[in-house]
Amino acid sequence: AKERGKNSFQYFDKTMKSEAEFAKTIKRDLSLALEKNQFFLLYQPLVDVKTGKVVGMEALLRWQHPKKGVISPFHFIPIAEETRQIISIGEWVLRTACRQRKEWLNMGYFDFSISVNVSVHQLQWPDFAKVVCDILNEIELESRYLELEITETVLLESVDAVVKNLCHLKEAGVKIIIDDFGIENSSFRYMQKFKADGIKIDRSFVRDINLDVNKAIIDAIILLGHRMKIGVTAEGVETREQLDCLIECGCDEVQGYYFSKPLFPDEAIQMIQKGL
């Protein structure tokens, strides 16, 4: 949503009209995308800093639009949230990612988990945790293979349903990771309300890690995570310098173009076979 905000600002003058039209097209076509089977998932590896092994694969949603080509979630997730279609789209993502993980298990790949991004609107839905558990049962996938990445804006004070869902999922053995940590001012409040299994540092801090202030923020987030005895992941690692800096800070897991862009399932498994 943030990237989108930036873009809207950039194009405010010249192309506002066409952007509004783009949004209208998206809104109209989105309602058919599921039944027309236009969504697919790419998988981006998460790498353990100490062992260099792939310890996770994050599922990232893509929409193959018949006319506009592949559309990034930044452009349609906010609309899907507005129209509540995120509930059915999110369920499709969960089921597809869990099926993929099961298939990889059947092929003999045991050592990594699958991460799925979850929106606030999904977590506010009282049945969410139950649906996740139903999907795991249906696919016969053990809950320990599943990690949910929650964007922290989720924890608006109002929503008991969110905390209930999170606790239910944790009890069921699903891991909860706070995504985009540090970019919302609710970050610390989140830590008070719910004991997550991990936090993920947003790539905006990693991008400019050479700035003292960002390095200090990353240091502080890692310290916080380790004081809470939870793992800290950094996303958006693009260079060796960024990686070295994160290693120096004691980061546990890393992800980004330096290791791999998001991949099709067969490419992802090739990467595991090659050992990166």
Residue 200's DSSP bridge partners are: 233
Select the residue interacting with Ca ion from 29, 81, 152, 202 (CB under 5 A).
202
Structure tokens that stand for 184 in this block: 């919302």
Q: Can residue 61 be called a binding residue for ligand C2E (CB under 6 A)?
A: yes
91 or 149: CB nearest Ca ion: 149
Q: Can residue 119 be called a binding residue for Ca ion (CB under 5 A)?
A: no
Q: Can residue 180 be called a binding residue for ligand C2E (CB under 6 A)?
A: yes
Closest Cα to residue 259, out of 6, 85, 54, 102?
54
**By CB under 5 A, what part of segment 253-272 binds Ca ion?**
none
Q: Can residue 182 be called a binding residue for ligand C2E (CB under 6 A)?
A: no
**By CB under 6 A, what part of segment 102-121 binds ligand C2E?**
117-119
Q: Can residue 152 be called a binding residue for Ca ion (CB under 5 A)?
A: no
**At its nearest, how many Å lie between ligand C2E and the CB of residue 108?**
26
68 or 107: CB nearest ligand C2E: 68
109: left (phi over 0), alpha (psi -120 to 50) or beta: beta
Beta-carbon contacts of residue 178 (< 8 Å; ≥ 6 apart): 149, 150, 152, 187, 190, 191, 196, 198, 199, 200
The distance from CA 249 to its chain's CA centroid, rounded to whole angstroms, is 23
**At its nearest, how many Å lie between ligand C2E and the CB of residue 61?**
4
CB-side neighbour CA atoms (13 Å) of 133: 13
Select the residue interacting with Ca ion from 29, 81, 91, 149 (CB under 5 A).
149
**At its nearest, how many Å lie between Ca ion and the CB of residue 240?**
21
Q: Can residue 257 be called a binding residue for ligand C2E (CB under 6 A)?
A: yes
How crowded is residue 273: how many other Cβ atoms within 10 Å of its Cβ? 8
- Chain position carrying tokens 């990889």: 104
72: left (phi over 0), alpha (psi -120 to 50) or beta: beta
Select the residue interacting with ligand C2E from 46, 93, 141, 249 (CB under 6 A).
93
**At its nearest, how many Å lie between ligand C2E and the CB of residue 206?**
8
Please tell me the distance from the alpha carbon of residue 88 to that of residue 120, in angstroms, as a whole number.
Answer: 14
Q: Which does 256 bind (CB under 5 to 8 A by kind): Ca ion, ligand C2E, none?
A: ligand C2E
Query: In this structure, which amino acid lies at residue 173?
Result: G
Q: Can residue 122 be called a binding residue for Ca ion (CB under 5 A)?
A: no
Q: Interface with ligand C2E by CB under 6 A: which residues?
A: 44, 60-61, 72-74, 77, 90, 93, 117-119, 149, 151, 179-180, 203, 235-238, 256-257, 262
